[in-house]
Amino acid sequence: MPSKVSQEVGDLFVTETMVTVKLMPSKRTGSRLIRWFSGGNVTNLKLAAKDIAFLIGKVQGKTRLVRALTVMTDRGPAADPDKIGLTAAVQKAGFQVIR
């Protein structure tokens, strides 16, 4: 009997040294050390997309499907994800950004 795949939304939180994702409603979380976020900006778009896709894939497993992410940084709501490059990294990783 095939297992049912549930769709979930992820919260992506980025600091200078770490990216963390939390899935809702399952509340699964995962973190990864990064080097591509410096000075409040994404410095390497390709590496950022790779790390985001890897982390989401690891956390979602086989029974969950993540299509959209909310994006936040340690700088709070004043930081615009479009200007710092996070929106482009998330889209390059294959996910939609929820505003």
pLDDT tens, 8-37?
999 999 999 999 999 999 999 999 999 999
Residues whose CB falls within 8 Å of the CB of residue 66, separated by 6 or more in sequence, listed in order:
7, 8, 9, 10, 23, 56, 59, 60, 95
CATH 3.30.420.40 is the classification of domain 6-98: yes
Domain ranges across the chain: 6-98
**What's the whole-model pTM score?**
0.91
